[in-house]
Structure 1
Amino acid sequence: MRFLKRAITISAAALTLAGLTACGAVGNAANCVEANTEATKIMSDYSKSMTNLGTNPDEMQKAMEKSAQETSDKLKTLAGKYDGELAEALNEAAGLFDTLKSDPTSTDAMAKVQSFSTKIQSACS
């Protein structure tokens, strides 16, 4: 379980870093900065919740599911504030956390981190 917590924390950190580096275009700069600030906070909150998990496997599972659901919901709400590629990228990230909610050990969900990062960069350039 320690490996799982570390993998989830690393993935959340990677998403946060992607958000911080994604917005360089002048036209989308305001939307991207605002979206990335909010997304970074959401990802940071998720990462913190993963580091605070206990050692009881049943409690851990419930806490991971709850954190993934909350993170997904927050990202969907954030995506609703934007249009086009930026909203699509945020909804894709929400889908990633939906996957983690039902299968916290999903290697497929972890592999999608790079795809999400690429979409955010594309939307903001």
Structure 2
Amino acid sequence: MTPPRRRLAVAAATLTLAVLTTACGALGNTVDCNTAASEASKIASEWSTAVTKNASDTDAIGTASQTAADKTKELAGKYDGEVASALNDLAAGFDSMKGGDLSSVSDFSGKVNGFTSKITAACS
């Protein structure tokens, strides 16, 4: 695995793990919150797979990022308040990578904790 591929794989795995471990399943939270977290996790996983698979193809990274942003925006449209805001922030993160350059993917992976913290806070 080339160094850029390794970096992308680590960034993608970090994003997927962070979204998967978002604590929206606590007792007393609404099913909608669980659904939002589950769907966000699915979108992030699909993005992660696409980016890792096409790590050297900036067009493919850009397309995967745009698709993830669109899906996340659509998901955010189904919710309101803090959940919608957290999902819109995640969508903006995906949007920031639509150019497909490796530095934007690295920047985004550094911001993942902030996005997942917002989703977690919205769900608690």
TM-score, normalisation: structure 2: 0.82
The letter of the residue matching 1:113 is: V
Residue 100 of structure 1, aligned match among 76, 97, 102: 97
The question of whether the paired residues in 2 share the 8 Å contact of 1:49 and 1:67 is answered with yes
Cα 1:122–1:54, aligned 2, differ >3 Å: closer, same or farther?
closer
Once the two structures are superposed, what CA deviation does each residue of 1:62-102 show, in whole Å capped at 9, x if it has no partner?
A: 11111111111111111111111111111111111111113
CA contact (8 A) 2:69 2:95 kept: yes
- Structure 2 residue ranges without an equivalent (≥5): none
Unaligned runs of 5+ in 1: none
> Which residue in the other structure is 2:11 paired with?
11
What is the correspondence of 1:82-93 to structure 2 with a 5 Å cutoff? Answer: 82-93=79-90
Deviation at 1:16, TM superposition (A): 2.8
Counterpart in the other structure of 1:111: 110
Structure-2 residue corresponding to 1:70: 67
CA distance in 2, matches of 1:54, 1:4: 7
Inter-partner Cα distance in structure 2 for 1:98 and 1:15: 15
Identity %: 46
Single out whichever of 34-43 and 46-55 deviates more from structure 2.
46-55
SS of the residue 1:23 aligns to:
coil
User: Counterpart of 2:51?
Assistant: 50
CA RMSD of the aligned region, Å?
A: 2.2
Runs of 4+ in 1 over 6 A off after TM superposition: none
Q: Residue type of the partner of 1:81?
A: K
What TM-score comes out, normalization by structure 1 length? 0.81
Deviation per CA, 1:85-122, whole angstroms, max 9, x where unpaired? 11111111111111111363124433211110110110
Map of 1:23 onto structure 2:
24
1:61–1:83 Cα change, 3 Å: same
Q: How many residues are aligned here?
A: 121
